[in-house]
A and B are shown apart, each in its own frame.
Chain A
């Protein structure tokens, strides 16, 4: 059953169970029924507008499911000034939907007024820690709440990075008091693309700051005979990512876990079966801790 019932579940915290991303392909299923997922995540920018089908549907679902607002466009690591209008609209969505979690990405995305509408990576340096932390603090002040910051996928390594990804995220958490949304697929993709041991990164993470996990699929692409993994969110969670997820649960305990699927979205049953697998691992994690 959904995590909450007709009493409504505005605010609060995400349940430590599995949720899915709410995508338009499944609107009808959520309009006519109450699929069994613990929470729903939406891209904040899809709810910037006040009218139309999507906001009305989310208003209704909000009474039955915990909701996570996941921003993809604020890009707080950009050195250019924070986009105040974008932040104002995020704040309006937070006021309207009273989500259990609000997240953004540890990335940059615009420079000199030009937006690339992508989650561009930051170097893992002290300077980037200071900059991102200051911006996240600004966002948290504007929203009046703590937000989660997600690690992004990387297709390249900056020469002058001095920290590991885990150290970088831990430092940002220390500086601004945000939480972490750990995308386990991104962690795996990065470990292959850039070449590092992902279990080491997990060791560096502040376990008590990880408040949500993302699981997704990726694509293999060969360049000059070398494999790079593309974070396309277009397939089932691969086995190596499930194995890494098990290690994350070992370190962080049972954490709300999202099955993220954005391209070639399959029928709802496929997402629910992936969510059920995550739920069974979360249950086993709780049993071990008891």
Chain B
């Protein structure tokens, strides 16, 4: 008689499709033990596939159901689930695609998958209060260059060598899918969650580099220096950040105390 530990190892071998003998521990009345065990094997595979398909809907649509299922099969072999929380199973899919598809015409799918994972993460990131543009206008003009902006925890910044945002947008809803030129060059994407839901915004290279520096905690002045953002682009970039509800807090330099009013107060 198998002890509980040996039994779970034997059962697990059957679930993985490794060599096993279900008849040794499961009864075969009416239906063979192996056929009964296969129901669990199919269910485990299906649950895994469905979790991946829910997160990577655009990747799936781009490659079709059959190839997606194949990719998931190889992914699951390389990265079996390590969590009882199904939301976690797709975490390493972009990394897997990056190596599995390296050198193939499909290698760009890794970057699309990274965008979809960012969207998934942004959807469940911690809530944060949102700062309004008025918070910045309350800072003395001479001190604005030293201001730091704390961005919302849901913010994810992605730089892709192919137009992943264009692909992502082209594959939303039920309308006809426009053809996307994958040679159209890189795209820089800001993903975050506002009160209206997850937002995706494309950015120019310098604007993107500016937001990366701000997200890292640099002052506005340092972020401009680092990113090479043209001065005339500063106001629109800041306005977009605030209007998109991507700023959680305006942190003025120590010598320039903040005005008391400055937060719209609703979490995103």
Interface residues of A (CB under 8 A from B): 45, 48-56, 72-75, 78-80, 83, 86, 89, 108-118, 120, 122-123, 125, 127-128, 131, 155-160, 193, 195, 221, 223-224, 226, 228, 230
Contacts and interface: CB of A to CB of B under 8 A. Distances in A.
B105 interface: no
A120 B1 CA distance: 19
Contact of A230 (B9, B39, B48): B39
Contacts of B204: none
B30 to A, nearest CB: 5
B2 A50 contact: no
Contact of B1 (A50, A128, A160): A160
B3 interface: yes
Given A155-B40, A228-B31, A111 B9 contact: yes
Interface of B: 1-5, 7-9, 11-12, 15, 22, 24-27, 29-33, 35-37, 39-40, 43-44, 47-48, 51, 80-87, 89, 123-128, 153-154, 193, 197, 267-268
B29 A157 contact: yes
29 contacts: A51-B128, A72-B84, A73-B84, A73-B86, A78-B8, A79-B4, A79-B5, A83-B84, A110-B84, A112-B12, A114-B80, A115-B80, A115-B82, A116-B44, A117-B48, A117-B81, A117-B89, A120-B8, A120-B11, A122-B4, A123-B4, A155-B37, A156-B26, A156-B36, A156-B37, A160-B25, A193-B36, A223-B35, A224-B31
Given A108-B8, A120-B11, A115 B126 contact: no
Contact of B7 (A75, A158, A230): A158
A89 B84 CA distance: 11
Nearest to B80: A114
Contact of B4 (A86, A116, A131, A226): A131
Given A49-B124, A123-B4, A158 B82 contact: no
A228 B7 CA distance: 23
Given A51-B153, A116-B15, A224-B31, A79 B86 contact: no
A51 B127 contact: yes
Of B27, B83, B85, chain A has the most CB atoms within 10 Å of the CB of B85
Given A118-B47, A158-B26, 10 more contacts: A45-B84, A49-B126, A51-B126, A53-B197, A79-B5, A117-B51, A120-B11, A131-B4, A155-B37, A158-B7
Contacts of B124: 49, 51-52, 54
Contacts of A78: 8
Contact of B27 (A128, A131, A157, A221): A157
Contacts of B12: 111-112, 114, 116
A110 B89 CA distance: 14
Given A117-B51, A117-B84, A155-B39, A123 B7 contact: yes
Contacts of A51: 124-128, 153-154, 193, 267-268
